[in-house]
Structure 1
Amino acid sequence: MNEDYQLLKIFSGRANPSLATKIAQYVGIPLGQATISSFPDGETFVKFNENIRGRDVFIVQPTCPPTNHNLMELLIMIDAAKRASAARVTAVIPFYGYARQDRKDQPRVSITAKLVANLLVAAGANRVLAMDLHAQQIQGFFDIPVDHLTAVPVFYKYLETNSLLDLVVVSPDVGGIKMASTYSQLLGKGLALVVKKRIDAYHTEADFVVGDVQGKDVLIVDDLTETAGTVVSAANILKKKGARRVFAGISHAVLNQIGINRLRDSQLEALITTNSVPVPMVEGIRLTVLDVAPLLGEAIKRIHTGMSVTSLFEVDGKKINL
């Protein structure tokens, strides 16, 4: 083991152990051993099975469905690590659940993204490492350092080696225009926007397209899909406007059965996503899952050794502006 990493420990909750294993392999250390189980009434029990006193501990746990269960498990792991005298505890949250509840957009509702941030700090987290938060301002909800990565370099490398004809990058809604613009600038491709309206939590409706997609390959980019309503309605209207083929690049594919059914019946040629959360391989959907373990692993190495993570926001000499 590299001497620089003798005090480094990486542990995994039960949300995405395969990703944690790949991260540890990239760093070059064994994945830490912990016992995580549930009592008959559903309570979570956590015990670290090795000495972590004075160690730099990283706990990998996306808060994907079952969201509340995985969040509570992460909080308990952080608390157990602090009580075991870990020198520093970093919560590695590839997917940050509750991120869509980041503002008070109607009367008498919670800003739950802020509540979750408070809970993580109260549990004892000293630092957070996240990827493609739904809203940039969530970083400001924390009173501890937050390293916010993006999967853009991972998607960029894939897209550069899988050329698409006369590509146009599309944002499926106004809120995603900055991410789409980033992809457009890096790839040197055109940019378009789908204007939509949300009917309810499960349904959206695309109204019109701003930009030229006639006869072109189209890449819809977004941070998250669950019910696939936004991306599917965008794909449908893009095809109506003459797009040749429609692809989707989504950082977090937190798919439920509604989303899977919609994708099967959609105009999408393929869905490209990452392993930030477990992604089931489903018949009838052309799915490509990109590995973000090297990205997260490199960030962990640099955080542990006190190095800058700025270079992780550059690809082929081009800076990524989030």
Structure 2
Amino acid sequence: MPPRNDPKLIAGNANLPLAKAIARRMSIHRGISVGLVDARVERFNDGEVFVEMFENVRGEDMFIIQPTSNPANDHLMELLVMTDALRRSSARRITAVIPYFGYARQDRRARARTPITAKLVANMLTGAGIARVLTLDLHATQIQGFFDIPVDNLYASPVFALDIKTHFRDRLDELMVVSPDVGGVARARELAKRINAPLAIVDKRREKPGEVAEMTVIGDVTGKTCLIVDDICDTAGTLCKAAEVLMESGASEVHAYISHGVMSGPAVERVSNSVMKSLVLTDSIKPRAEVENAPNIRIVPTAPLFAQAILNIWNGTSVSSLFNDETLGPIYESFYAAA
């Protein structure tokens, strides 16, 4: 039986536009106005985070919307302090909606004397009083096991599949999905199955982090419209280099679909000057103005996906149903109606 109280949303400063969009989508689904809890999340002059809520949250099912994106430490601390404020205000259950889970790339000890920071963050979130986590495209799925609480990991591939079927509907038979490295093959294969396209791999050799020494294409991409699929685009160096290698190998066009657009440093400039026709990002991380204004970068919304997932968690119904194109199709129908 569903709880009596409606779900309540609260947001930090990491991605307010996404939080407001989720609230609007939930209002449409519920037929009643769903807004963000009136609160202030501020900093003292020395940088300390302070949170104050101006609404009663006692006994409420609370959802904190806060990606831990750049600056990761500040946004993570906001999430922890908001959780503590809610717990001390007697909220019934606290779910952290983390569209982009920062520190996910530190999920193992690749070398001696290094931390597993993703596990440390999981401990901090659990210790603060979070009862459940909802996230999107974790960098490594084993991070779910770092938590001793339920973790719902949504996938961007069904949303990307809808976008591809809309924007490439006249040439679906020309598409080829490309993984930019061997580690991302499972993610690329999942999308390839959804759009019934073949799969290729760009094998890269790194001399040190951030630098790629050599790239080799595994698979015949001659005459194909290549779609590079990855979870994170940081400085875009590897992505742009992969696009060049694919074009040199005979691809007719190269596009990219990335779940989380970190887009730090020279990323926007590199993408704008690259051979890629388009780069498609989700809004899991709030895009900077230069990202939004880049001519070959496009943003697809995640608010419909997260709004439905929050309602399913609140209702106690299946979240995995959102992994299907058939389920997401009606949810995104209005977004792609004019495409």
User: TM-score, normalising length from structure 1?
Assistant: 0.95
Change in 2 beyond 3 A, CA 1:11/1:284: closer
Unaligned runs of 5+ in 2: 28-33, 329-339
Q: Percent identity?
A: 46
Cα distance in 2 between the residues matched to 1:313 and 1:5: 28
Any conservation in 1 of the 2:158–2:191 contact (CA below 8 Å)?
no
Shift of residue 178, structure 1, vs aligned partner: 0.4
How far apart are the structure 2 equivalents of 1:198 and 1:53?
52
Alignment of 1:23-62 (within 5 A): 23-28=22-27, 29-62=34-67
Structure 1 residue 317 displacement after superposition: 7.9
AA aligned to 1:217 is T
- After TM superposition, give the deviation of residue 299 of structure 1 in Å: 0.5
Give the equivalent residue in structure 1 for 2:6.
7
Residues 148-297 of structure 1: matches in 2 within 5 Å? 148-163=153-168, 165=171, 166-282=174-290, 283-297=293-307
Q: Which amino acid aligns with 1:267?
A: V
Q: CA deviation at 1:21?
A: 0.5
Report the AA paired with residue 75 of structure 1: L
Q: Which amino acid aligns with 1:95?
A: Y
- Whole-Å separation in 2 of the counterparts to 1:288 and 1:234: 19
Q: 2:321 aligns with which of 300, 307, 311?
A: 311
- For the 8 Å contact 2:188–2:199, the answer to whether it is kept is yes
1:68 aligns with 2:73: yes
- CA displacement at 1:316 relative to structure 2: 3.4
Cα distance in 2, alignment partners of residues 310 and 295 from structure 1: 11
Residues 239-269 of structure 1 deviation map (CA, whole Å, 9 limit, x = unaligned): 1101111000000001112212221221111
TM-score computed with the length of structure 2 as normaliser = 0.90
The answer as to whether partners of 2:321 and 2:327 remain within 8 angstroms in 1 is no
Supply the distance in 2 between the matched residues of 1:7 and 1:163 (Cα, whole angstroms): 40
Letter in 2 for 1:54: G
Alpha carbons 1:206, 1:234 under 8 Å: kept: no
Equivalent AA in structure 1 for residue 73 of structure 2: N
Q: Name the Cα RMSD after superposition.
A: 1.6
Per the TM alignment, residue 284 of structure 1 is displaced from its structure 2 partner at its CA by 4.8
Structure 1 stretch displaced more, 69-78 or 6-15: 6-15
* Alpha-carbon distance between aligned partners in 1 of 2:214 and 2:188, rounded to the nearest angstrom: 17
8 A contact 1:206–1:237 mirrored in 2:
no
| Counterparts of 1:213 and 1:184, CA distance in 2 | 14
Q: Is the 8 A contact 2:62 2:95 kept in 1?
A: yes
Q: Distance in 2 between matches of 1:205 and 1:233?
A: 10
Q: Out of 234-243 and 204-213, give the one that drifted further.
A: 204-213
Query: Secondary structure at the residue paired with 1:257?
Result: coil
State the match for 2:133 in structure 1. 128
Checking the alignment, whether the CA contact within 8 Å between 2:229 and 2:256 is kept in structure 1 is yes
Aligned residue for 1:316, secondary structure, equals helix
Q: Number of aligned pairs? A: 316
Q: 2:185 and 2:91 mapped to 1: Cα distance?
A: 41
Partners of 1:139 and 1:229 in 2: CA distance: 29
> 272-281 vs 197-206, which deviates more?
197-206
